[in-house]
Amino acid sequence: MDLSYTEEQNLLRDSLQKYIEDNYDISQRNKLTKSDTGYSATNWQQFADLGWLGMAFSEADGGFGGSAVDTMVMMEEFGKGLVVEPFLSTVVMFGSAISEFGSSAQKEQLIPGIIDGTLLGTVAYAELQAHHDLENIETTATAEGDDFIINGTKSVVLHAASADQIIVSTRTSGASDSKEGISLFIVDAASNGISRTDYPTVDGLRASEITFADVRVSGDQLLGQLDQGYTVLNKIANRTILALAAEAVGAMEVLYKDTIAYTKQREQFDHPLSEFQVLKHRMTEMFMEYSLSKSLTMKATMLESQNSADAQRTIHALKYLIGKASRFVGQNAVQLHGGMGMTEELRIAHYFKRLMVIDSQFGNMDHHLEKFVA
C-alpha cells in the first residue's frame, strides 16, 4: 500500500499551510473562539473561494472530485492550525452524507450552498443515554400521513447555532438500542418546535443541546431509506473518525515540534533540557506515537475509500490509537514545558484540549477498544 501523497495533494497541503501561517496564530484563534459565532465568516468564505469546501464532492455535484485522502490532507493542516471553522460538521459530516445517500433533489438543493459557503449543516446523532452507541436512539419520528413528527433531545450537536440544515437520527421502529428501525431526516434548523441551548466546548468550539418538540418534516426530507438509517449513520461516523484522526495527527506534530524547540532553549544546570538523555528518550517516544498515528490514519483512510472488508476494524483500532497517542503526546508536551504548559497564553494547552475532545467524539478510546476486540 502506497502511503505517500500525490503531487496534487502536496500542492494542496502547501496552499493550506500558507493560508494558516498567514491567518492563524493562537491570539487570532482565541479572538475567534470568543466571538459571537465562534468562527470567522470571512475565513469560511475564503475556504469556499479557494475550492476547499468543494474538494470532497464529485464533479457531477459541482465539486472537484477529491478523494478521502484529500480530506485527510486538509484536516491534518487544520489540526496544525487549530482551525475553528465548521468544516468537520458541514463538509465531512453533513455534506458527505448528502453526497452519498441524498436524493437527486436533496443534492441539488443542498450541495451547491455547501460548496459556495452559503449553507452550513451539521448532524444531530448523540443522546445522553447512548454512551457512544450510534444505534441507541430514543428520539422518535412518528408517521402522520405523508409527514413525520419528531420528538426528542440531541446532545453536543457541533456548530448547531450556525447551521441552516441538520441531519437528525430518529427511531421510526424497533427497540431503542436496535440497529434496525433508524431513520435520518434533513431538518431545517429554523423549523417550528426546535429549541437550543448553545455553549462553548472545552476546546473553544461551539455545540448545542437541541430539543425537538413535535417538529413536522415531510417524507421528502428522509435521507436514505426508512428504517435503514444505521448504515448512513455508521458511514458518517467512520468518515468523521478518519477526519478527526487526521486533525489529531496535525495537532500532535505541532506539540512534538514545539516541545523540541522549547527544550533546546530552556536550560537547567547550565545545559539545554534537550541534552538530558531521559528527555531525549521521552521526545523520541512522542515522535513514535505521532508517526504511528499518521501511518495508521493513512492506511485506514485508504481502506475506507476502497470499501475494504478490513476498514471497520481498522477504524476502531485507529480511534483507540489516536486517543492513546494524543494523551501521551499532549501530557508530555505539557510536562516538558513546565507549569506554563497549561497557560492560556501558550498554544500547547489549546492543542492538548483539542486532542482530548477529539478522543471523546464518536466514541472514546475505551469504546473503540471494546469494539475492536469484540
> Do 209 and 256 have their domain in common?
no
For residues 110 and 16, membership in a common domain is answered with: yes
Distances (CA, A) of 234 to 68, 169, 237, 267: 16, 11, 5, 50
Give 176-230 pLDDT, tens digit per residue: 999 999 999 999 999 999 999 999 999 999 999 999 999 999 999 999 999 999 9
CB neighbour list of residue 288: distance below 8 Å, 6 or more residues apart: none
- For the chain, the farthest-separated pair of C-alpha atoms sits apart, in whole angstroms, at 79
Average pLDDT, integer, range 316-320: 97
The mean per-residue pLDDT over the stretch 247-259 comes to: 96
Residue 45, domain CATH: 1.10.540.10
Domain termination residue (choose one: 196, 227, 258) = 227
* Domain containing residue 271: CATH number: 1.20.140.10
pTM (2 d.p.): 0.95
Are 97 and 208 contained in the same domain?
A: no
- Reference 247, options 326, 315, 320; nearest CA is 326
> How many Å apart are CA 65 and CA 13, to the nearest integer?
17
Q: Is position 142 within any domain? A: yes
* One-letter amino acid of 110: L
Distance of CA 239 to the CA centre of its chain: 9
Residue 75 CA to residue 247 CA, distance in Å, equals: 5
Residue 1 lies in a domain: no
| Same domain as 168, residue 116 | no
Domain encompassing residue 267: 231-373
Q: Same structural domain for residues 139 and 94?
A: no
How far is C-alpha 317 from the chain's CA centre?
17
**Are 162 and 233 contacting, i.e. CB atoms less than 8 angstroms apart?**
no
Residue 271's pLDDT band, with cuts at 50, 70 and 90, is confident
Please check whether residues 55 and 187 belong to one and the same domain.
no
**Quick check: is 267 in a domain?**
yes
Q: Output 346 or 218, whichever has higher pLDDT.
A: 218
pLDDT in tens, 302-315: 998 887 778 999 99
Q: Are residues 88 and 210 in the same domain?
A: no
Cell numbers for 160: 448547531
260: in domain: yes
Q: DSSP for 104-133?
A: HHHHHHHHHHHHHT---EEEE---TTTTT-
Domain count, the chain: 3
Least confident stretch, 23-32, 120-129, 322-331, 362-371: 23-32
Domain boundary among 83, 100, 120: 120
**Same domain (yes/no): 33, 18:** yes
341, containing H or E segment: none
- Please report how the helices 229-265 and 311-336 are oriented relative to each other, as an axis angle in degrees rounded to 10: 30
C-alpha cell at position 144: 402522520
Query: Contact at 8 Å (CB) between 53 and 115?
Result: yes
- 43 found inside a domain: yes
Residues 219 and 255 in one domain: no
- Is 324 a member of any domain? yes
User: Could you tell me if 267 and 353 lie in one domain?
Assistant: yes
* 247 vs 225: CA distance, rounded Å: 32
Judge whether 2 lies within some domain: no
* 111 and 93 both lie in a single domain: yes
Using the 3D structure, point to which of 82, 105, 120 is the last residue of a domain.
120
d(CA 330, CA 349) in angstroms, rounded, equals 8
Whether residue 190 sits in one domain with residue 66 = no
User: One-letter amino acid identity for 159?
Assistant: H
Give the 3-state secondary structure of residue 173: coil
31 within a domain of the structure (yes/no): yes
